[in-house]
Amino acid sequence: MLYYLFDYLDKTFDLPGAGLFQFISFRAGMATLFSLLITILFGKKLINFLRKKQIGEEVRDLGLEGQLQKKGTPTMGGLIILAAIIIPTLLFARLGNVYVILILVTTVWMGSVGFLDDYIKTFRKNKEGLAGRFKVFGQVGLGLIVGLTLYFHDGVLVREFDESVMELISGADNPADDIPNTAYDDVKTTKTTIPFVKNNEAEYRNFVSFITFGLVDFPESLTWIVYVLIVTFIITAVSNGANLTDGLDGLAAGSSAIIGITLAILAYVSGNLRFSQYLNIMYIPDLGELTIYTTAFVGACIGFLWYNSFPAQVFMGDTGSLAIGGIIAVLALAVKKEFLIPLMCGIFLVESLSVIMQVSYFKYTKNKYGEGRRIFLMSPLHHHYQKKNIHEAKIVTRFWLVGIVLAILTLATLKVR
């Protein structure tokens, strides 16, 4: 909203300083600052409100050190994360942008699913929370919305340039304005990025042929089905991965902040003509606006650590973790870097895999007495290290360090091919 206000003031009254709001970098910085302030200043009020309403975490005794001390800690703190993301985005982003609208819908949608789960657990005193089928329904519903929007919406385009204007792009003062319209085409495409290969763009319609070793020639008109299925799977997998990671103080928030910084950089370079041409990646018009949202997301996660770092004064609950996972998935899809998710979100991936491996192996080795063997002392993986008597704060810090390494490797894929 402030973007439109200062744009009007700049054009109508030539107000000094109003032109700053034309720069994505300035608005991204302001969104980060506002997000941090909202989280830190209003976080304490939310914690006090949750305590007053006796909205506390129910803790099962799993034999983990310090676990029972967390009983009664306020949960549903994800509400402050969502507010600290949405408010700065509404203030500083261009709200007519299709990517901004889509990511705001994602935030509210997944936040609502998580809120329902937390509400049932805390107010209805049902430890199981929202039934699994309803969570899946919410994730699949979002997958359909995101997949169909990214595939069919007229505003989701990739700009393809004539080779003859490459030098003009590198020399122009403002290449987005100085390149003649005849030198490029804004096209609908099903291309995405494949990391670590030289020609790193691949078509979704070719995936079926690749998987079936060329035995199935998939009709181009039905490519949207493959795309929507993959989008739905990614959103479901990442949101569940973030949910599983939210088991130690500061682990999910800190890991998500690292991923968010990576996505902010990817969104900025992909939406910037000069950077995209220099890095030889797809230039996606209007994508740069996602930088404002993503920096607000980073600010919210970092600000939440003020109260969520060990020992936590509040937990984000499913309100925060499911929303965070869905947000990260949709951001990666928008910047066409979804196949970097296993690397970028490696923490979420290993947490999910540890649960899948543990459950599967236990069932495979289960005897007639219902006893089975385990791969880990406990899953998800962070509990395995707790069982080895490693302090919770040290586990979280080491996971963050791994996340930073994965973020660097993710960004390296821009040039390492």
195-216 pLDDT, tens per residue? 888 877 888 777 766 666 666 6
pLDDT of 208-266, one tens digit each?
Answer: 666 666 666 667 777 888 899 999 999 999 999 999 999 899 999 999 999 999 999 99
In a domain, 165, yes or no: yes
In a domain, 382, yes or no: no
Query: Mapping DSSP to helix (H, G, I), strand (E, B) and coil, where does residue 187 land?
Result: strand
pTM above 0.75, yes or no: yes
In a domain, 347, yes or no: no
> Cα separation of 114 and 130, whole Å?
8
DSSP state of 192: E
In a domain, 310, yes or no: yes
Spatial CB neighbours of 308, under 8 Å, sequence gap ≥ 6: 77, 249, 250, 253, 314, 315, 316
In a domain, 242, yes or no: yes
For the beta carbon of residue 214, count every other beta carbon within 10 angstroms.
10
In a domain, 209, yes or no: yes
Total domain count for the chain?
1
Q: How many Å is the maximal CA-CA distance in the chain?
A: 81
Q: Which two tokens stand for residue 322?
A: 């499911």
At 397 the pLDDT is 97
In a domain, 47, yes or no: yes
Residue type, 7: D
> Cα separation of 168 and 170, whole Å?
6
In a domain, 15, yes or no: yes
Which residue range(s) make up the domain with 257?
2-337
Q: Does pLDDT of 177 surpass 60?
A: no
Q: Comparing 143 with 201, which gets the higher pLDDT?
A: 143
Query: Mapping DSSP to helix (H, G, I), strand (E, B) and coil, where does residue 151 land?
Result: helix
Q: Which two tokens stand for residue 114?
A: 């998580």
